[in-house]
Structure formats: structure tokens, C-alpha cells
Amino acid sequence: MSEASVSQKPASEEDAAKDNAAGEALVTLSGLTKHFHTKVSWPKEDGVSPMAKAWRSLTRMNALVRAVDDVSLQIFEGETLGLVGESGCGKSTLGRTLVRLLDPTAGSINFGGTDISKISQKQLRPIRRKMQMIFQDPYASLNPRMTIGSTLGEPIDIHNLASSASAKRERVESLLTKVGLRPDAVSRYPHEFSGGQRQRVGIARALAVEPQFIVCDEPISALDVSIQAQIVNLLQDLQKADNLTYLFISHDLRIVQYICDRVAVMYLGKVVELTDAKTLYRDPKHPYTKALLSAVPKPNPGAKKRRVVLEGDVPSPINPPSGCAFHPRCPVKDKPKACFTELPTLKTLSNGTRAACHVAE
């Protein structure tokens, strides 16, 4: 995707985003945690002592994947908060837990002044209307046996948003027009559309109940490069028109730079850096963030750039390292002892960035 194909926010909008971030928080996460029980695969047990077999059996039952581990952050009304990191760092799990598609293991989710982390599905239904999700795969997120009209009409029926069948059809056609599709698409099936058109249907489905907050879970990663900019610009236009708030999950740091007001960087289930987008790209503080940004392609092929290559693999979320989880791959030399023994917490640094790192300054 060419950088010119996506409209960059002018300085006035960046300033407005900072002002907004000082205002009302729509979503507040406090110590949000999501763990999964899993089974550990062990080699064949020939020659293994009975005690070792018993220990392996116990480990199988008690192994935990720490997908999201004690995350605290705020998302302010009208802003787009980017959530970035390598595959498997917990981004999508955080987004799904936030909207209660997954139940949190611990912590709280405050949405619009209500703690929704422990309420029942019946109590959650009226709140569900205010928070929606756009999924990554436009092919898998739509029911192939339902027409587009039925897909968009279903949430309208569930929340009783239309007084009659004609009112519902009019609302569905209006949604299709809003996302750039023809109203006569109501009678067609998902397989009759391209990937970009299906994602527009997914966006229309999220808008059907007039939400305040939308989790965009890598909404363009499955699309052709030529279509990605169109979807990004559509999301920006809809945000301005309907005063929407986004959590934008992505691994594409170029897109995040254009669409997001603030950015949270995740590593192994934790947020390791949080700041406004302009500061993050100009002056990253965490060594992991620096490594991610060094991999972003530049439009000038001849420009000299130092690439930070991380050694080793991402540690297992079943058994994360002690101290800072990033220390086995951290490129900083002569790390202090605290990196190996003390878990870093988010602290505000000299440039206003919040980073969980013992050597960020």
C-alpha cells in the first residue's frame, strides 16, 4: 500500500486527539487478565519414572496460557487506540475479552461507567448494542447461508430497532449505502462479493445497532493491498460522521501511524509501551518498540536505516521468563540485574510515554 493512498491526519487533528485523551474515558481496563487451560505435549514415556509420569500428568491439567496478563489502560471517547505487537502477543484475545466474547479470568472492564466484567449475558445485552466488533476474516465472519439483508437485519431484530418489516429493510439499505455498497445487495449471498465488499458488510453489521465503540480486529490484514486503503478511509469517515471510538488491532505499523491517535504496544500478554502515535514513531522508548519500528518499510529505498534484529523466539506464554519477559531477546547490552529479576511496570518517562522497561531512558 502506498503511503499516499491513506489520508494522514493533519496537525490540528493530532492536537485535538491529545485534548480528547485528557477528557472522558469510555473504556477503562484495570488488571485485565485472560488465561486459558491447555495440555502440554510430552515425548513418549518409555523409560520415564513413575514420579516423572505423575508430574507430567499434573502439568497437563494445570498448564496455563497467559494470553492477556494484567493489562490496564483507558480508551477515550472519539479516539482510535492502536494495539500492536507480534502474532501471538494477545492482541485479539484482549479485544475479544474487552467486548465479553471471552470471559475475563481476572480484572475489570468498565464501559461507560458500568463494570461489565462479571455481569450475566442477559444484563450484558443492552450494553452489547453499544460495543461491537469487526473481525479479521471477512470470509469466515459471514454466514454463507444467509443473505446480506438477513445478516444485517438480524441485529436489528434482536435489539428491536425497527417497527416494521419495511422500516427494517429501509434501515438495511441505508447501512449498505453508508459503507459504499448498492442497496440491491440485500438479496445476495456472501460468496457473490469480493473480500473488500464482504468486509464492508461486516462493518455495516457492526453499525446496524448504532454502537459507540468498535473493536477492529485486524480488519484489513486479509484484504488485497489495493483495497486496504479504501477500508481504512471508510473507517475514518464513519468515525467522524458517527463519533465512534475504535480499538484498532493490527500488526501493520504503517496503517497504525495513519489511523490511530494513541498506540499501545503488547508483548507476551502485557502492554510494554503506551503513548500518542506521533511520539511513538518519533521517539520510541522500549527496545521492543524500536525493533518493531525498524522493520517498517520506508518510501525511499535509498535511505539508510539501522534494522534491529531480535534474536531467539518469543518465550512461551505458558512459562514466561522471570523479571522482564523481553530480556532474553532484548538487544540492550549490559542490562541491569533488575531486568532478570523484577517485573517492570508502566512508568511515565521524560517525553510523556509510559513504558514498562528498566532501561527505557
Cell numbers found for residue 269? 500478554
Residue 331: is its pLDDT beyond 80?
yes
Q: Per-residue pLDDT averaged across 101-124, rounded?
A: 94
User: Does 96 map to a domain?
Assistant: no
272/187 Cα distance (integer angstroms): 47
Name the residue among 37, 42, 36 with its Cα closest to residue 67: 36
Q: Which domain holds residue 175?
A: 146-204
CA torsion through residues 231, 235, 237, 242, sign: positive
| Residue 14, pLDDT score | 42
| Residue 66, pLDDT score | 92
User: Does 332 map to a domain?
Assistant: no
User: Does 128 map to a domain?
Assistant: no
Burial grade of 305 (CB within 10 A; 0-12, 13-18, 19 or more): exposed
Residue 266: is its pLDDT beyond 70?
yes
Distance (Å) of CA 341 to CA 149, 242, 270, 311, 336: 57, 47, 17, 20, 10
Name the residue among 246, 304, 245, 281 with its Cα closest to residue 353: 281
Residue 148: is its pLDDT beyond 90?
yes
| Residue 222, pLDDT score | 85
| Residue 53, pLDDT score | 65
Q: Residue 16: pLDDT band by 50, 70, 90 thresholds?
A: very low
User: Does 40 map to a domain?
Assistant: no
Distance (Å) of CA 194 to CA 128, 197, 346: 29, 5, 43
| Residue 13, pLDDT score | 41
| Residue 9, pLDDT score | 47
| Residue 225, pLDDT score | 87
Q: Per-residue pLDDT averaged across 194-201, rounded?
A: 95
Q: Per-residue pLDDT averaged across 199-227, rounded?
A: 94
User: Does 320 map to a domain?
Assistant: no
Among residues of the chain, what percentage have pLDDT more than 90? 70
Q: Per-residue pLDDT averaged across 329-334, rounded?
A: 90
Q: Quick one: angle between helices 195-207 and 165-178, nearest 10?
A: 130
Residue 94: is its pLDDT beyond 50?
yes
User: Does 347 map to a domain?
Assistant: no
| Residue 297, pLDDT score | 77
Residue 252: is its pLDDT beyond 80?
yes
Q: Render pLDDT for 49-90 as a digit per residue (tens, 0 to 9).
A: 777 666 666 555 567 889 999 999 999 999 999 999 998 899
| Residue 4, pLDDT score | 40
Residue 11: is its pLDDT beyond 50?
no
Please report, as a single letter, which amino acid is at residue 166: S
Q: Per-residue pLDDT averaged across 264-273, rounded?
A: 96
Supply the pTM of this predicted model.
0.86
Q: What is the DSSP string of 117-139?
A: SS--HHHHHHHHTTEEEE-S-TT
* Number of structural domains found in the chain: 1
Q: Which residue has the higher pLDDT, 55 or 163?
A: 163
Residue 205: is its pLDDT beyond 90?
yes
Q: Per-residue pLDDT averaged across 109-126, rounded?
A: 93
User: Does 158 map to a domain?
Assistant: yes
The DSSP output letter for 34 is: E
User: Does 126 map to a domain?
Assistant: no
Name the residue among 266, 260, 252, 340 with its Cα closest to residue 297: 252
Q: Residue 333: pLDDT band by 50, 70, 90 thresholds?
A: confident
Q: Residue 22: pLDDT band by 50, 70, 90 thresholds?
A: very low
| Residue 10, pLDDT score | 42
Q: Residue 295: pLDDT band by 50, 70, 90 thresholds?
A: confident
